[in-house]
Chain A
């Protein structure tokens, strides 16, 4: 049975001629419930190379230009159409919510560079008389939160607040790269966003902005 290579989930259908995929295969749009998915027929997954990665990205960008909402799918996703339908049905609700979030928006990426992670002094969440279980859970919660926060950006926040619609943070154990921060902004706001980042004045960390990108980082978290 033939398999399909999956490029993206779409909020609406692009023009009938969606063009070709990364192997020059014709693109088509599959409907699963309320979700629309851009796919191409392929016998084998593409090898990972600069050419195939850039070709996949080019297809996603072209689709992004043709629709209001797009959720890119991870590179190398080849599966049967029935398996795809099963996966999407199981996650229909969170995927629809994610599509609503990215509608009319795109992604900017900030790389935060600095000497050492900012000290994140934080009062304990658990009250002093909490038992060991509660203290453990509070510590785990704090750890989880810290992994998704970028306190280094505090000086930038006032400038970015009006532009950023959603944020994802990944902290890195790769100094001087301290964190990657992915911001969802309205389409067309990239120039204002860059100006805000560049105009932020002296800061304890350096930030490098790239984009706009299709909203790759705003896919719902992978299952399991």
Chain B
């Protein structure tokens, strides 16, 4: 359960961005968490309930978007969807592929209120 550490790091980043933008409060935090990132969105939501207390984002909502895993084949060049433990090219079955989507762990944006 490392989601709490991840979330505490997130809150420090949110507070920093909020301060830079003269926010009175943070209302919405948008994240993108890919399946291959190693972070479980539902646990992150639970951790957020704890981590947001007493911060500028105490009343904020956390919106986590996921998305498909996409790999690009190093052999045939095709892009295809893959599952977390079968990162194979759907067209030629090759395992030498690059993950082009699905391992993101990003703070996308904030919505803030200003004075």
Tell me whether A and B are bound partners: no
Which chain B residues have a beta carbon within 8 Å of chain A's beta carbons?
Answer: none
